Amino acid sequence: MLQYGDNLTVAPWGDIVLCEDGAEDQYLRGITPEGKIYTLGRSGYEGKAELCGCCFAPNHETLFVNIQKPGITLAITGPWEKLSAEATS
């Protein structure tokens, strides 16, 4: 179902957010409490550009994700309420 999931955090809406280091593409996945897996994003960097270190800001408005190569941090904002509603439907 998933390949090489290695970093995770709990989303404000109760899902798990997981960095998935697949053999090809690198994904940011969500997993609902019921076990439904959905895609939040995919790294556009080629090669070994692993997504890692996902975490939410204390106010839960921003999700931070690192990309190992080229060594950058992304700040991703919602709307998280819309995503959580779609993930459970």
Q: Which of these, 31, 42, 41, 12, lies nearest to 88 by C-alpha position?
A: 31
Q: What is the pLDDT of residue 19?
A: 95
Q: State how many domains the chain has.
A: 1
Residue 31: give the domain boundaries.
Answer: 5-88
pTM of the entire predicted model = 0.84
Q: Is residue 78 very low, low, confident or very high in pLDDT (cuts 50, 70, 90)?
A: confident
Q: What is the pLDDT of residue 89?
A: 61
The strand ranges marked E within the chain are 5-10, 16-21, 26-31, 37-42, 51-56, 62-67, 72-77
Q: Is residue 4 very low, low, confident or very high in pLDDT (cuts 50, 70, 90)?
A: confident
Angle (CA) 50-60-78 rounded to 5° is: 70
